[in-house]
Amino acid sequence: MRVYLDNAATTPMDAEVLKEMYTVMESQFGNPSSIHAHGREARSLLEKCRKRVATLLHTSPAEIFFTSGGTEADNMAIRCGITGYNIKHAITSHLEHHAVIHTLEAMEKSGLIKLSFVNVTSKGEIDYEHLEELLKNNDRSFVSIMHANNELGTINDIERIGELCEQYNAIFHCDTVQTCGHYVHDLSKLKVHFMVCSAHKLHGPKGVGFIYISHKVKIDPMIYGGAQERNMRGGTENIYGIAGLAKALEMAYADMSEHQQYIQGLKSHMMNRLMAEVPGIHFNGETNPAKSLYTVLNVSFPEMEMADMLLFNLDIAGISASGGSACSSGSNIGSHVLNAIGANPDRPAVRFSFSKYNTLEEVDFVVDKVKEICLVNA
């Protein structure tokens, strides 16, 4: 048996998504910027996909811009949002994806901004009181905080963050790559200026995503070239990928409650078996289902010989997962997220992440193999 439990990294494409993309590849090969019939057909498809996405998110199609994925969308929001409004102070956390942290650090290094890091709890949630203090004690800020952490699964209260940002006239960018398609995002109510999505995290294709840009903000493009995406993102649109993204998001919303319940059941079953059968394990991040992403489970295992080989041993045993320990020395970088929450650097950590395609039989197989590996290396 080969078990895939690395869905936070990428998900397998749904058969219906592949079917939709194949149909478009066969029939809609025109360039949507061309004015002839083939181009107009492609343009019509593009705008229908934009409307499908916008409708699901309760926003206007004019606020949805297609990109190559989450990293580009994060960079666009941060770089263009900060420079467009001449903002000199930015706030983020040490738990963010590197697409956010590295971009902000590069801007600080260039002298464009002062960067502040909001405190985080040992479970990986931001300190809302400290966030308010940072907002209060600085001029207008740019705030970049993710919805749910990609390593821990801990969920931040983005409604509360949005309220604070509005109170202090800050611009709020939210990385929702891990939660878009897994939770409802109602942009008619959520007080966020930028939100991003990557299709391959919700059973869509790689290399395509979108950025929501609120009508309340106006920015210049990050990528210049043609007049594509209403002059906001140069480059011929990835029509096939965009069609796959729209289909994947529609399917995710249609079956969201069912999938949440099913996948949470898999996660809870794995947690219960690990607690009962693997002495000394510890779950990193929030374990309360109401505050934790149901697709992600981060586990620290007891100290063991060859701890740095745990993922390799899991792979040999037929299990695809990811993770890593907190940094224990200068010889390895470790997980910046686990370091930030003070995880024990001597304990190997693994992130198991689930999807609708996983089964209870697979979870039991993984736990059995984990027990064997821990026993051998104890």
The whole-angstrom separation of Cα 83 and Cα 171 is 12
By the 8 A CB rule, do 192 and 174 touch? yes
CA–CA distances in Å: residue 338 to residues 150, 151, 242, 316: 11, 8, 34, 25
DSSP symbols for 208-274: -EEEEE-TT-----SS-SSSHHHHTS-S---HHHHHHHHHHHHHHHHTHHHHHHHHHHHHHHHHHHH
Which residue in the list 49, 180, 327, 374 is annotated as catalytic? 327
Cross-sheet strand order for the sheet of 322-323: 282-284, 296-300, 349-353, 322-323
Strand partners for 90? 115, 142
Say whether 327 is catalytic: yes
Residue from 131, 138, 145 nearest 94 by CA: 145
The whole-angstrom separation of Cα 67 and Cα 103 is 17
User: What is the set of active-site residues?
Assistant: 327
